[in-house]
Chain A
Amino acid sequence: MSATAVRERPTGPAARPPATTRASRPRISVRRHWRPFLLGAVVVLWLVLWAVLKGTQTLELGGAEKTDFHLWLNSVRDSFDAARSNSAVFEYVVQPLTDGLNGLVAFLQSLFSQPSALRPVPQVGWLGVVVLLAWLAFALAGVRSMLLVGACVLLFGFFGYWQQSIDTLVVTFVAVGLCAILGPPLGIWMARSRRVSAIISPVLDLMQTLPSFAYLAPLALVFGIGPAAAIVTTIIYSLPPLVRITEHGIRNVSPTTLEAVTSMGGTAWQTLTKVQLPMARRTIVVGINQCTMAALSMATIAALINGPGLGQPVLQSLQSLDVGSAFVSGLAIVLMAIMLDRTTTAASERSGIEARVARGTSAGGFRGPRARRVGVIAGAVIAAVAIYLSHNYLALAKFPASPDLGGPLGKAVSAATNWTVGTFSGFTGWLKDTITTLLVNPLESLLAQSPWWVMALVLLGIALALGGRRAAVAAAACEAVILGTGLWNESMKTLATTLVATLLVVVAAVVVGVWMGRSRLADAIIRPVLDAFQTIPSFVYLVPALALFGPTRFTAIVAALAYGVPIATKLVADGIRGVSPTTVEAAESMGTTGWQMVSKVQVPMSRAAVVLAANQGLLYVLSMVVVGGLVGGGGLGYLVVSGFSQGQLFGKGLAAGIAITALGIMLDRITQHAAARLGRA
Chain B
Amino acid sequence: MTAPTLDPETSRRAARRADSIEPALKVEGLWKIFGAKADRIIGTPDEHLSRKELQSRTGCLAAVKDVSFEVAQGEVFVVMGLSGSGKSTLVRLLTRLIEPTAGTVRIDGEDVTQAGKAQLRALRRNHMAMVFQQFGLLPHRKVIDNVAYGLEVRGEPKAKRLARAQEMVDLVGLSGYEGSFPDQLSGGMQQRVGLARALAVDPQVLLFDEPFSALDPLIRRDMQNEVCRLHEEVGKTMVFITHDLQEALRLGDRILIMRDGEIVQIGTPAEVVANPADDYVRDFVSDVPRSHVLTLRYVVRPAHDGESLDGPVMQANQIVRDAARQVLASSLPVRVYDDDRFLGVVDDEDILRVVVAEEGA
Instruction: Report A's interface with B, CB cutoff 8 A.
Output: 1-6, 8-9, 12, 15-17, 254, 256-267, 270, 274-275, 278-279, 281, 353-354, 356-357, 360-361
Contact = CB atoms under 8 A, between A and B. Distances in A.
A6 B89 CA distance: 9
A230 to B, nearest CB: 38
A354 B182 CA distance: 11
Given A257-B137, A279-B140, A8 B97 contact: no
B139 A279 contact: yes
A357 B137 contact: no
A256 B84 contact: no
A350 to B, nearest CB: 13
A2 B133 CA distance: 8
Contacts of B286: none
20 contacts: A1-B83, A2-B134, A5-B32, A5-B63, A5-B89, A6-B98, A9-B61, A254-B136, A256-B134, A256-B136, A259-B92, A262-B97, A263-B207, A264-B150, A265-B121, A265-B150, A265-B153, A279-B140, A353-B140, A361-B184
A2 B209 contact: yes
Given A256-B134, A265-B154, 17 more contacts: A1-B84, A2-B132, A2-B133, A2-B209, A3-B88, A3-B92, A5-B34, A6-B34, A12-B55, A259-B132, A260-B132, A260-B197, A263-B128, A264-B149, A266-B153, A274-B153, A278-B140
B121 A263 contact: no
A70 to B, nearest CB: 52
B152 interface: yes
Contacts of B139: 257, 279, 353
Contact of B152 (A6, A257, A274, A281): A274
The 4 closest A-B pairs by CB, nearest first: A260-B136, A265-B124, A265-B125, A5-B63
Contacts of A279: 138-140
Nearest to B181: A357
A263 B124 contact: yes
B259 to A, nearest CB: 13
B86 interface: yes
A15 B132 contact: no
Interface of B: 32, 34-35, 52, 55-56, 61, 63, 83-84, 86, 88-89, 92, 95, 97-98, 120-126, 128-130, 132-142, 149-150, 152-154, 179-181, 183-184, 194, 197, 201, 207, 209-210, 213, 243
A275 B150 CA distance: 12
Contacts of B126: 265
Nearest to B203: A264
Contacts of B35: 9
Contacts of A257: 136-139
A597 B176 CA distance: 53
A3 B98 contact: yes
Contacts of A256: 132-136
B121 A15 contact: no
B65 to A, nearest CB: 11
Contacts of A12: 55
A253 to B, nearest CB: 10
A263 B97 contact: yes
Given A1-B88, A3-B98, A361 B138 contact: no
B281 to A, nearest CB: 20
B132 A357 contact: no
Contacts of B210: 1
Contacts of A264: 124-125, 129, 149-150, 153, 197, 201
A259 B97 CA distance: 7
Identify which of A17, A265, A275, A278 gathers the most chain B CB atoms within 10 Å of its CB.
A265
Nearest to A263: B130
Contacts of B134: 2, 254, 256
Contacts of B124: 262-265
Nearest to A277: B140
Contacts of B122: 265
Contacts of B133: 1-2, 256
A256 B134 CA distance: 7
B138 A17 contact: no
B95 A4 contact: no
Contacts of B120: 265
Q: Which of A9, A256, A263, A266 has the most CB of B within 10 A?
A: A263
Nearest to B151: A264
A354 B184 CA distance: 10
A523 to B, nearest CB: 27
Contacts of A254: 134, 136
A154 B84 CA distance: 65
A4 B135 contact: no
A546 to B, nearest CB: 49
B66 to A, nearest CB: 15
A43 to B, nearest CB: 44
A361 B88 contact: no
A4 B89 contact: yes
Contacts of A360: 142, 179, 181
Contacts of A262: 97, 124
